[in-house]
Amino acid sequence: MTNLNKTTMKKIACIVGMIFCTTMTMAQKKGNPTAPPATAENTTVQQQKRSSTIGISQDFTMPVASPKATTKQQFSTSNIELEYSRPSVKGRKIFGGMVAFGKPWRTGANAITKITFGEEVIFGGQRVEAGTYALYTIPNQKSWTVLLNTNHKSSGLNDINHEEDIAKVEVKPTILKESVETFTIELNNISNTNASLNIIWENTKVTVPIVADNHERIIAYLEEALHGDRPPYRDAAFYFEETGHDLKRAVEFADRALEENPRAFWIHSLKARIFSKLGDKQQAVRSAETAAEMTRGTGYEEEYKKKVEDYR
């Protein structure tokens, strides 16, 4: 090989080396050139690392205009569940404006509102079996129609079939003094047998009463459970007293509950109420005095002293 060829080869090698170094430097700035090809798995892992670095959880969602709400309320012997979306007023006129009078409204946004009853109820005076239903309304200025429909998979727009309605309730709206910004459906005024379904938005509130006809079902449950391995004497005594059902047996159940928990002053107070309903004032006072004596030195002392005076 000539000197010229050797010189030329050295120059070529030098140029190649410079190009390689420059390429490596640029690659390092952009990322690791020796990293494996990008895959869905690698991308997900990298995203998770970036998310954890900036404090974002895996259930991250972007804010929406009408956020979804799910409510599960214990009622009677089961539950009532609501699933709906909550739009806001945002300076708009709602009823008679964005929500037209005289036309079906899915009573929310994005999808039909769903309501699930865990047991048979009386909805606005109409008996409704346990199950899931679409809840929609027809608003008007002086009255609203609240409906339950079996097609709970409806969009709530143009696919509502009135032949599938199973309850239709006419109610008068209440005008609120203060505007409610975000659409709300709530269950309120809850007792053992009653609840109120309130639909509230802007300056309007609509209420539908819900009643659970549960007495026979509860009695049947208690009668069976009282013959079981762990008889619910306490629950039976309280329920019998509250409903006035077989009060003499209620006294027996209260006594059995006290055998299990002799320091249960509230059971003595319960017996006072039972005896009072039976018309036995003397026994009512005795039971109330026993309860008061057991609460001495506690935060309940004054409350139970007053109860004794009430029975006297």
pLDDT digits (tens, 9 = 90+) for 82-102: 999 999 999 999 999 999 999
**pLDDT for the residue 57:** 73
pTM of the model: 0.75
Q: Is the pLDDT of residue 34 over 50?
A: no
The mean pLDDT of 182-201, rounded to a whole number, is 97
The pLDDT assigned to 32 comes to 47
Residue 294 has a pLDDT of: 96
DSSP character string of 183-210: EEEEEES--SSEEEEEEEEEEEEEEEEE
Q: pLDDT band for 282, please (50, 70, 90 cuts).
A: very high
The mean pLDDT of 54-80, rounded to a whole number, is: 90
How much is the mean pLDDT over the chain? Answer: 88
Identify the DSSP state of 175.
E
Q: Number of C-alpha atoms within 13 angstroms, CB side, residue 244?
A: 4
Residue range 121-125: mean pLDDT, rounded: 98
Summarize the confidence of residues 67-90 as an average pLDDT: 97
CB 176 within 8 A of CB 95: no
Contacts of 67 (CB under 8 A, 6+ apart): 85, 86
pLDDT at 17 over 80: no
End-to-end CA distance of the chain: 129
Pinpoint the residues of the chain covered by CATH 1.25.40.10: 215-311
Between 194 and 60, the higher pLDDT residue? 194
Q: Quick one: tokens of 167?
A: 């309850």
Q: What is the pLDDT of residues 216-253, one digit of tens each?
A: 999 999 999 999 999 999 999 999 999 999 999 999 99
pLDDT surpassing 70 at residue 33 = no
- Supply the pLDDT for residue 4: 47
Q: What is the 3-state secondary structure (H, E, C) of 32-98?
A: CCCCCCCCHHHHHHHHHHHHHHCCCCCCCCCCCCCCEEEEEEEECCEEEEEEEECCECCCCCCECCC
The pLDDT confidence band at residue 46, using thresholds 50, 70 and 90, is low
What's the confidence (pLDDT) of residue 206? 98
**Which of the residue ranges 150-159, 197-206, 288-297, 298-307 would you say has the lowest mean pLDDT?**
150-159
Q: Which fold has domain 215-311?
A: 1.25.40
When pLDDT is averaged across residues 34-60 and rounded to a whole number, the result is 58
